[in-house]
Chain A
Amino acid sequence: MSSSKFTFDEEEVLHELKHHLPAQMPLKDFVHHNTLHSFQNKNFYNALHEASEIFGYNTTLFVEDYREMLKNNHIEEKILDKMIISEKGKENFTFWKDKVLSYPYKKPQDKKVGRLRPFWKDAYEIDINAGIRPSLFRILNAYFDQGISIWQFPTAKYGLLGSIREVEKNSFISFFKTNRVRKMLLAEKQPQIIELLKILVGNDTSLYKQYLYDQQFMHPGWSGMVATLEENPHGLLDKKPTKLKDLIILELLLEIDALENEVGKNWLPLAEKIKIPAMSDIHDISQENKEYYDVIKIWQNAFEWTYYDGVLAGLQSHKEKEKRKEKSFQAMFCIDDRECSMRRYLEATDENCETFGLPGFFGVPFWYKPLGGKSYIKLCPVPLNPKNLICEIDDHREVRKKDMYLSQHTHRLFRGWLIVNTIGFLSIIRLFLNLFRPTLKLATVSSLKHTSQISHYTIENKNVDDKENGYQIGFTIDEMVVLVENVLRNIGFIDNYAPLVYVVGHGATSVNNPHYAAYDCGACSGRPGSINARVLCYMANHPEVRKRLSVKNIIIPSTTQFVPAIHDTTRDEFEFYDDVVEMSEENKILHRKNKHTFHQASDKNSKERACYFDTMDIKQKDKKIHQQIKRRSVSLFEPRPELNHADNALCIVARRQLSADLFLNRRSFLNSYDHTTDPDGTYLFNVLSAAIPVIGGINLEYYFSKVDNHKLGVGTKLPLNVMGLIGVANGIDGDLKPGLPSQMVELHDPVRLMLIVEHSPEIILNTINKSQSLHEWVYNQWINLACINPYNQLIYIFKDGQFEEYKPIQTIEHIKDIDDFLEHQHDNIHTRILD
């Protein structure tokens, strides 16, 4: 081993640590991302192996789980065989097949992180973690708190450590137990990590890196939050300047404090008190367990391809139906997988309608400031940095209702006494009503409240100097033209306009749900998409914009009107903001009819969703089921108001005709894209760059939260306690829990996303190669990629840097009657063709 590994480079280690720690933002901005983002520069399977060896995560299902799935036909044997051959070669097939099926593999238990810390117990018989965790978490939580405590941390002016120092200096009571540590903190010169490590660990610097990893990964939740806030200080409204370094110093001080207090003054550093065996570097991965991970790879591939193969078979055997050119109406939806079935039902209810899918901010990125708001809300994907600001004006709706039961007053002594003895008694009635007649009234978070018919916005900018804090208020006509043109061209929606075009944002409704932001539109930074829909409609309806678009060959007839709407995915309810569009008389009549279509389709959609809730009886009438679905969205006791992205596995970037007659369950993101209007792939690049990071992130977060719900997810949400409004934990002394709760992922099949694009393989390959980020996603296999070549109807799959032809092995069944099918379905629903 080279000697450089033994010298301790503080900056490098801190940088690495920050990279590996969970990167979840505070609850209000919950956005999905790849849980193992720090490994994304590596091949997917190598990353799974490494992450597991280093941190002890379960990064896949267990071998027994896969074997069980083979038994239940969840994995197709033919495909398994194919995978064994492709990994191990034909000649070794029987040997490996035997191993794959029956060798008693156990997941390797050893992990690199956490090797050093247990030696404290051997050295001094003390549990150093138990001693400092509660104090550390309490101080951190108090410092970052955004509004739970009545009496907040006295100051945050000086950063994490500086503020603690300031308080310590001005207090008769110390955070610490011993004077020595207090003095160290208050000394002129701030204590440094390396000095403290010397006191704790000893002179052997080769152990420092290991020590810091062990220490920070004892509580990845808090450390990750601190590291994330260091990078994104704007994640908190009430700013709390932060550095991971401060946290480490604080923790080292607390450790010295605990030792000094428990052991007495004369304790020796860890490595001097007892002999520590030599340890390899954290990132040195042995090849010892390679066989296990090879077998896992075979299984996981077989599992994934069993599903993909069915989908590809379905796509290949589809027949394009002759459709009427003239459309009754068109609707633009978010690419979200929850709209997958909704669109199917809409098209089934009115055969002449047409639907499109695109990221749910509808191509209009901006900051939004509600009336009376003290800050801006980003209404576009997180990585974008919009220049425009849209403000709400002259709103007459009631924005906020006070809820005494959630207010801090109840926790004060005398006010609390008054409240307890008066309206305290009403709480039991409230509870009773919610148990038996839940309504939207309570502290519900609902997408339907995001905007209203009577809200107005500063969408149009008439003077470019009209600015607030550097952001331009509204969009100029020029900007509007560019945005609208891009949106329409991206999805190939440049002719055949129906009289009414609906732009449907989506959001969710839930109560008692700290993860509410994860239920809304990911492309709007975890908020409902209704305001974006309104903004796009405003632009597309603008006469001047239309005039200029017609010059660019996008001719929207004057009879066509764009109407904004919101689809609440939890309640399966549509709300149309039709008052803000001055609708022509003819269109009013059509609109009335279309509304009916939407409502009917949503009844049907809610029935399909109900199949996944085993507390529901799906043999009832559609309307009745829909009522119950709405009820769960506002029931306090319902931990599963909806199932979000559970089971997401696909993204189809193609014309809708390609997938329209497929029953894809609710597993596919659907992005409209018409290769005929984009022969050289210019717009394809836009589409893929916007879609892949967002949905890839969703898919992988679900994947990892499912395979290790304990370490990479939240675990069950039932005992959660809200910490400082920024995260959740178990009990009052628990570490923050990033990731998703078990209730969100229990129905998820952990497979990677399969991206299917309709275009020629060469164009797709060129597009992928254009950007470093896309290249990484695809070449490192964090998503799978397939191509439907519209010119020869063949399917190609991406493998080792190129496309090769693929012939599906499975045959696909047909569904005659969807109702009947749903009522008799069992848990294993494969892709089907709808007749």
Chain B
Amino acid sequence: MINLIPLLIIIPLLGLIIGLLVSSSSEKYIGWVALIITTTHIILTPIFIVYWLLIGNINIKEIVLYHSNDYEFFIDFYFDHVTAVYLFTGSLLTFMVTVYSKYYLHSEKGYKRFFNSMLLFFTGYNIVVLSGNFETMFIGWEILGISSFLLIAFYRDRYLPIKNAMKVFSVYRIGDVGLILTMWLSHHLWHENVTFAKLKNLDIVIEHLETHTILGISISLFIVLAAVVKSAQLPFSSWLARAMEGPSPSSAIFYGSLSVHMGAFLLIRTFPFWENQISVRILVGSIGLMTAFVTNYIARVQPSIKGQIAYSSASQIGLIFLEIALGLEYFALFHFMGNAFLRTYQLLISPSSVAYLIKEQFYTYNEEKIEKEKSAFMKKIGYSFYVLSIKEWYLDYFMYRFLWKPLKWIGKKLKFIGNPYILLLLLVVYIISRVLLHNKISFVPIIEAQLPLIFSIFGFVFVLRSFSERYNAFLAWGLIIMSHLWIDLSVSFNQYFTFEHTLIYLSGILISGFIGFICLFNLSRKKENLDLAHFYGYAENHKVTNFFFLVACLGVSGFPITTAFLGKDLVFTHIQETQFLLTFLTSVSFVVDGIATIKIYSRLFLGEYKRQ
């Protein structure tokens, strides 16, 4: 029976694979596949829950993906009460939304795409919920990110959905790095892929943390970062309302209920680890409380139904964060279920609100509004709060001002790197360094000590340059690949990074990069415009190229479909926990790399297709 638990992941994955193979014109089969898959899942889920109730918490070490003397990467599953609650809620809601969408999306263009994205999401969700260690969880976490992107940009021929999908994806990316860094530091703390089961052992946790207080706190902070982003807490709350671009059922299941509660899941899951770090608990509690208040104010002034639901959901999740910090784990789980159910339902019936509220207004409206007498100052305070809330407490502005604008600015300053001579020069530098490294020819030690940092700066600069490239897709794509080469080189100089490691990391990147280039060549052969100044919407007319380029993008950004995913983890394992700057550069490179990749994809394949 224990060995059957992965079925809960395999079934939706199977659905996805079948779904991809069914022709997009046979709506009936696509709907039935999704329905059968989710029905099976909702039947199996209670069986497993009963089984768990009988035998208690389950930890299964599945497959070891990579093994060396000092490093092991393995897939691990875990089943406890948190799993049970999230599994059941997710399975039930996905089932219902599938039934709903099967009719609702009838004859909509993209019927197939919708159900496949949903099954992809559902696969990722189950992986996260059942994961037994950070590494496994991270696989699911990345899947959630990309399926979100695909569903927000569901109406891919329109500008706003694409823009908002990119916005959400970019913010998610920050959360992803939170999780990567958590994994990185955990390796250094535990010297293994620590399982969540092990975290529950209080003695071991205390023993480890006593000697490594700073490390412990840092791990917790990265966990909190990942959770805050995913659950739309301060200061990242503004993405949630902007995610409401897809068909209502997808907004309902993602942003109303399941996806947005994953941050809370991560916190509950890791609670035993930071339970005794009072400062972290205070931090989580205050973020939750502040979010609850601030987003509640924003919810109050929202004049659109979905915006209102989004913000009030975020505000309830704030309270859930607070409950978790207070140690009310069971209550938080209960609260999660209630919030997920209610918001899903509210989003699904949101169009009904017009008739209901207009009627309500018709019978209750009072022409003479009673304005309470207020002092000038109080009135001013009131108005200020109103305007502040309309402006979403500058949350969206903040993201723009402090994250994207500086990146764009630096990118612009780096224009010269696009110069072919400079590129050639850097390529030569790369090859020489690689050869030197391979032949173990030593530099002057002082320089050699600085090389990792220098190369990682190169990587960083390359990816920034790619991010701001607006004229040439080949260049942008090439720069991304190059940036990975520099990162690899940087780590290789940093520590004993065997050729095998390099191979694991770069093989994934290079294969994906190669596929990407082929796709680009294919487009240019068909005389399509390949600058990045506009959205070209090639997905409409180059379906196969679209699919492969998306796969290539995922591969390049370390999505768990190539060895690069493992490689990314290896890279970090070879950075010391004290190498702050190197870590910073490498991790920011990964963030920007994902965004730059998806930007190329969006510009070329999304948007309105105009025939030349």
Contacts and interface: CB of A to CB of B under 8 A. Distances in A.
A61 to B, nearest CB: 17
B379 interface: yes
Interface centre among A372, A637, A732 (most CB of B within 10 A): A732
B155 A719 contact: yes
Contacts, number: 272
B351 A148 contact: no
Nearest to B302: A149
A173 B346 contact: no
B245 A730 contact: yes
B536 to A, nearest CB: 16
B464 interface: no
Interface stretch (B54-62, B189-197, B337-345, B492-500): B337-345
B306 A721 contact: yes
A420 B338 contact: yes
Interface string B366-381: 1100000000100111
A679 to B, nearest CB: 47
Contact of A149 (B246, B303, B354, B367): B303
Contacts of B81: none
B353 A730 contact: no
A417 interface: yes
A724 interface: yes
A419 B338 CA distance: 8
B32 interface: no
Nearest to A723: B304
A756 B76 CA distance: 75
A35 interface: no
Given A405-B342, A435-B100, A721-B307, A412 B296 contact: yes
A411 B345 contact: no
Nearest to B412: A125
B362 interface: yes
Contacts of A145: 303
A636 B348 contact: yes
Contact of B346 (A410, A435, A734): A410
B345 A731 contact: no
A171 B387 contact: yes
A226 B439 CA distance: 74
Nearest to B240: A732
B299 interface: yes
B51 interface: no
Nearest to A429: B341
Contacts of A167: 383, 386-387
A432 B93 CA distance: 10
A406 B245 contact: no
A421 B161 CA distance: 33
B415 interface: no
A417 to B, nearest CB: 6
Contacts of B299: 150, 411
B349 A512 contact: yes
Contacts of A791: none
A746 interface: yes
Q: Interface size for chain A: under 10, 10 to 19, 20 to 34, or 35 or more residues? A: 35 or more
A154 B371 CA distance: 10
A134 B334 CA distance: 36
B21 interface: no
B361 A238 contact: yes
B312 A411 contact: yes
B386 A154 contact: yes
Interface stretch (A136-144, A777-785, A805-813, A814-822): A136-144
Contact of A375 (B99, B245, B341, B365): B365
B27 to A, nearest CB: 10
B200 interface: no
A725 interface: yes
Interface in A131-175: 134-135, 138-139, 141-142, 144-151, 153-154, 167-168, 170-175
The CB with the most chain A CB atoms within 10 A, among B92, B102, B339, B387, is that of: B387
Contacts of B302: 148-149, 732
Contacts of B348: 431, 512, 636
A693 interface: no
Interface residues of B, number: 93
B390 interface: yes
A420 B339 contact: yes
Interface in A384-428: 399-400, 403, 405-406, 410-413, 416-417, 419-422, 424-425, 427-428
Given A400-B360, A410-B342, A637-B103, A416 B354 contact: no
B334 A421 contact: yes
Contacts of B354: 27-28, 514, 516, 722, 725
B244 A732 contact: yes
Interface stretch (B104-112, B523-531, B590-598): B104-112
A732 B302 CA distance: 9
A406 B353 CA distance: 6
Given A167-B383, A172-B380, A416 B316 contact: yes
Given A375-B362, A432-B96, A731-B160, A722 B350 contact: yes
B391 interface: yes
Given A148-B353, A170-B379, A443-B355, A374 B391 contact: no
B356 interface: yes
B101 A733 contact: no
B43 to A, nearest CB: 15
Contacts of B350: 721-722
Given A139-B390, A170-B379, A722-B350, A424 B356 contact: no
A385 to B, nearest CB: 21
Contact of B359 (A130, A400, A718): A400
Given A28-B358, A421-B334, A722-B354, A413 B365 contact: no
Chain B CB within 10 Å, residue with most, of A174, A175, A399, A411: A411
Given A375-B365, A514-B354, A405 B103 contact: no
Contact of A411 (B244, B308, B357, B360): B308
Contact of B341 (A27, A138, A139, A425): A425
A406 B249 CA distance: 17
B305 A149 contact: no
Contact of A722 (B103, B304, B390): B304
Given A411-B299, A424-B338, A725-B358, A511 B352 contact: yes
A431 B302 CA distance: 25
Contacts of B312: 410-412, 416
B303 A730 contact: no
Contacts of B438: none
A145 B353 CA distance: 13
A201 interface: no
B380 A148 contact: no
B244 to A, nearest CB: 6
A655 to B, nearest CB: 39
Contacts of B361: 146-147, 237-238, 725
A428 B92 contact: yes
Given A150-B300, A716-B108, 14 more contacts: A151-B386, A374-B363, A374-B367, A400-B363, A405-B349, A410-B312, A422-B338, A427-B341, A514-B354, A636-B349, A638-B103, A718-B104, A718-B108, A725-B358
15 contacts: A27-B358, A141-B303, A142-B301, A142-B390, A147-B361, A170-B376, A171-B380, A372-B363, A406-B356, A411-B312, A413-B296, A413-B315, A428-B344, A639-B104, A732-B302
Interface of B: 92-93, 96, 99-108, 154-155, 158, 160-161, 163-164, 241-242, 244-249, 251, 292-293, 296, 299-312, 315-316, 319, 334-335, 337-339, 341-342, 344-346, 348-367, 376, 379-384, 386-391, 396
Interface of A: 27-28, 130, 134-135, 138-139, 141-142, 144-151, 153-154, 167-168, 170-175, 237-238, 372-375, 399-400, 403, 405-406, 410-413, 416-417, 419-422, 424-425, 427-428, 430-432, 435, 442-443, 445, 511-514, 516, 614-615, 635-640, 716-725, 729-734, 746
Task: List the 6 closest pairs (A to B, CB-CB), nearest first.
Answer: A424-B338, A427-B345, A424-B342, A145-B303, A411-B312, A718-B247
